[in-house]
Amino acid sequence: MLEPDHFASVQERRRAVDSGLQTGLDDREFMRFVPLQLFNRENRYNTMVGVMFGLGSLLAIWTTNIWLPTILSLMAQKSGAADATAAVPFVSQGMMLWSLGGIFGYIAFGFIADWIGRRGTVIFYSLGAIVFGLTLYLGLSGYQPWYPVVLPIFGFFVFGVFSGYAVYLPELFPTHVRSTAVGFCTGSARIITSFGPLVAGLMVGAFGGSFNKVTAVMTCFATLSILAMFLGRETKGAPLPR
């Protein structure tokens, strides 16, 4: 099986260094334990950008994942459903619409990123998640007629931004640390944000038991992804780092 030239070059250099040959002045750093290389002078800034992007996108969606069915049920009851059981069709339809919007968001991300750039696309998706999240959770008082319209649009943005993990993050790092770097940025963000639902649950009491208000606040954490893009570099059209 043919390997990409960049990867083949890394493999060849590793074999040469293992054999005792000097291939460059940075051989020692090149062969260093890869996770530690993520925090060297060359990579630590991009690692910080990647983790911040991951934190923003995950915090923005965690509480929606957990509480959207409950919110949909309450909205359906406000719109005339007799009880939670009668609201089940509304919940099923709402979750389906939200997920379908996300599928289209995933698909569209790469095309938009090739059009306006990686950073601009992440900012576009993050702003969309904030705007339509606030509209959904604070601006609508009942399920009909607008909830089924806003749900897929919100899903498009809040789900679709995750395609940036595969598009933007790999382009920040050199070949010999790339897969570890992407895994670290996304994995560490998941570990950190795993406490998000716990914190959000504690916030419900402070907001008078309103799931909508807390979920709206958590959606605004997408601003971390926006900040990450202002700090990060644009990679559209640039060669992959070697």
Instruction: Indicate which CATH number applies to the domain containing 154.
Output: 1.20.1250.20
Evaluate whether residue 5 is within a structural domain: no
- Regions in the chain scoring below 70 on pLDDT: 1-31, 79-87
Evaluate whether residue 23 is within a structural domain: no
Q: Which residue has the tokens 């389906």?
A: 96
**What pLDDT, in 10s, does the model give residues 36-74?**
889 999 999 999 999 999 999 999 998 888 888 888 888
Residue-level pLDDT at 135 = 96
From CA 34, how far away is CA 156, in angstroms rounded? 35
Evaluate whether residue 25 is within a structural domain: no
Contact 125, 164 (CB under 8 A): yes
The total of other beta-carbon atoms located within 10 Å of residue 134's CB is 16
Residue-level pLDDT at 208 = 80
From CA 229, how far away is CA 234, in angstroms rounded? 8
- Name residue 7's amino acid: F
pTM: 0.89
Evaluate whether residue 223 is within a structural domain: yes
The total of other beta-carbon atoms located within 10 Å of residue 17's CB is 16
From CA 64, how far away is CA 30, in angstroms rounded? 42
From CA 226, how far away is CA 122, in angstroms rounded? 7
Evaluate whether residue 240 is within a structural domain: no
Evaluate whether residue 18 is within a structural domain: no
Range of the domain at 184: 35-231
Contact 116, 181 (CB under 8 A): no
Contact 34, 177 (CB under 8 A): yes
Residue-level pLDDT at 95 = 92
Number of domains in the chain: 1
Residue-level pLDDT at 124 = 98
- Name residue 126's amino acid: S
Evaluate whether residue 239 is within a structural domain: no
Residue-level pLDDT at 138 = 93
From CA 70, how far away is CA 64, in angstroms rounded? 10
Residue-level pLDDT at 105 = 98
Residue-level pLDDT at 238 = 87
Evaluate whether residue 72 is within a structural domain: yes
Residue-level pLDDT at 84 = 58
